[in-house]
Amino acid sequence: MSNYHPLTEVEAIEIAKTIPGIFDSEGELVSREIGDGNLNLVFHVGQPSTGKSVIVKQALPYAKVVGESWPLTLDRARIESEALKIEGRLAPGLVPEVYHTDNELALTVMEDLSNHVIMRQGLIEGGVYPKFANDISEFMARTLFFTSDLGMNQQEKKLLVHSFANPELCKITEDLIFDHPYTDADTNSFDPHLKEQAEKLWADTELHLEVAILREKFLTHAQALLHGDLHTGSIFITPESTKVIDPEFAYFGPIGFDIGAVLANLLLHFASQENWSADEASRQTRRQYLVQSIREIWVSFERKFRALWNEHGTDRIAKTAGYQDDYMQRLLQDTVGFTGAKMVRRIVGLAHVADIDRIPDPIVREKAQRLALEIGKSLIKRNRQVTSIEQLINIADSASKA
């Protein structure tokens, strides 16, 4: 029945040609597959004569992670494309523009952002992004508020929940973030020197209870349309511009999960700073920059989310005295818990981060890993008591000085 097949570079050009208003009808188009082939084909289709280009991204019917390959729904291309369109409408300029979607071929033609770098790589190279805290807080405040029951007609939201049921990709998160790191699972992967740390994790029942409760929130709290995988590898950046990409994990879940993803990846980079500076002073400067980013992201997010709530709250219940304060407090606590969960999984779980894994010196790498684990565990354990973002920062700071 299906017309699906992996595209060739020539076919990618044929599709790119059909997008009106991009290319000159004269000049030749050149196509180059630039993906890593693990999940998607990514074609860069450019026209040298005009300098114009687009990206043709096509989902593959499988995922390859660390040598393993398993089948994975092509429907994720539809979800990614629909999420990008919604995010683009709600947070203009903060996602790539979508030019064309073909659900049968599982492909999206979108704006080429080759002038940006992947933020994880940018940070590793010492990049500083003065607009980031403002942009990402804007992206989260607007996409999350306007798809929640606070900022959207509640009946329309129920129908939208419907089209973002995303069981296969949610399952990956449920297993790899909220389950496997806390038991001796085959999928786990960690350096041998972390064996003892991992075993402590597997035996820590206080931690397990908090993870079970966070997982329950991920499974049942359909607060807003999440990006669902908002780490620094899903962000294209320059000092002047921020573009959030790859929302194939999008679904309706707890708002704190997206914010936690951003903060966790900044904290993982914070932990990686055991390596990146020869001297203590410049390491401290870098860490202060990261901590200040985290503070600004939460504070700006909270300010913007509250402002949207005050101006665009859907109904009179949203104005109930004390409700906004109570909600924001719970949101901060969720954020802290999910931040922790997203740190721990990057040290002992299946998928790691380059910030830490690529530290060449094993002693330095181990220090960074232990620090990330320590911060992650503390955040998970204390999440339900937190009342201020400064507590999250203090946990990171004290652990780094211990």
Our finding on whether 167 is near a copy of itself (CB under 8 A) is: yes
Closest CA to 253 of 272, 236, 275, 230: 230
Cβ atoms < 10 Å from Cβ of 53: 20
Query: Distance (Å, rounded) from C-alpha 239 to C-alpha 131?
Result: 6
What is the spatial distance between Cα 212 and Cα 400, in angstroms, rounded to a whole number?
27
Q: Which is nearer to a copy of itself, 211 or 393 (CB)?
A: 211
* Contact status: 149 vs a copy of itself (CB under 8 A): yes
Other CB atoms within a 10 A radius of the CB of residue 354 amount to 17
- 317 touches a copy of itself (CB under 8 A): yes
111 annotated ligand binder: yes
Segment contacting a copy of itself by CB under 8 A, of 81-89, 237-245, 266-274, 321-329: 321-329
- Considering only residues 31, 81, 101, 166, which one is a binding residue for a copy of itself as defined by CB under 8 A? 166
Residues 6 or more apart whose CB falls under 8 angstroms from that of 305 comprise 141, 144, 145, 328, 331
Write down the least CB distance from residue 256 to a copy of itself, Å. Answer: 13
275 is in an annotated binding site: no
Kindly state the smallest distance separating residue 166's Cβ from a copy of itself, in Å. Answer: 8
Among 20, 192, 316, 402, binds a copy of itself (CB under 8 A): 316
Is 247 marked as binding a ligand?
yes
Q: Residue 98 belongs to what H/E stretch?
A: strand 98-102
Question: Binding of a copy of itself at residue 268 (CB under 8 A)?
Answer: no
What's the CA gap between 167 and 219, in Å, rounded? Answer: 10
Which is it for the CA torsion 125, 238, 337, 172, positive or negative?
negative
- Interface with a copy of itself in residues 178-237 (CB under 8 A): 178-179, 183, 205, 208-209, 211-213, 215-216, 219-223
Within 223-371, strands assigned E span: 224-226, 235-238, 241-244, 251-253
* Shortest Cβ 12–a copy of itself spacing (Å): 32
- Which one among 4, 190, 289, 323 touches a copy of itself, defined by CB under 8 A? 323
> 89 or 171: whose CB is closer to a copy of itself?
171
Distances (CA, A) of 259 to 57, 131, 179, 227, 372: 26, 17, 20, 10, 18
Task: Decide whether 58 or 223 has the Cβ nearer to a copy of itself.
Answer: 223
- 219-238 burial by CB neighbour count: b if 16+ within 10 A, else e? eeebbbbbbbbbbbbbbbbb
User: Looking at 23-31, 37-45, 124-132, 171-179, which segment touches a copy of itself (CB under 8 A)?
Assistant: 171-179
40 is in an annotated binding site: yes
State both tokens at 67.
């040598």
Q: Among residues 5, 25, 36, 159, which is the contact residue for a copy of itself, using CB under 8 A?
A: 159
Residue choice 249, 327, 372, 377 for contact with a copy of itself (CB under 8 A): 327
Residues 336, 339, 342: CA angle, nearest 5 degrees = 150
CB 124 within 8 A of CB 30: no
**Which CB sits closer to a copy of itself, 67 or 322?**
322
Nearer to a copy of itself, 23 or 252 (CB): 252
Say how many C-beta atoms besides its own lie within 10 A of residue 162's C-beta: 9
The Cα 158–Cα 258 span in angstroms is 20
- Binding status of residue 71 toward a copy of itself by CB under 8 A: no
Residues flagged as binding site for substrate: 229, 345
Residues flagged as binding site for ATP: 40, 57, 111-113, 246-248
Binding site for a copy of itself (CB under 8 A): 149, 154-156, 158-159, 161-162, 165-168, 170-171, 174, 178-179, 183, 205, 208-209, 211-213, 215-216, 219-223, 315-317, 320-323, 326-327
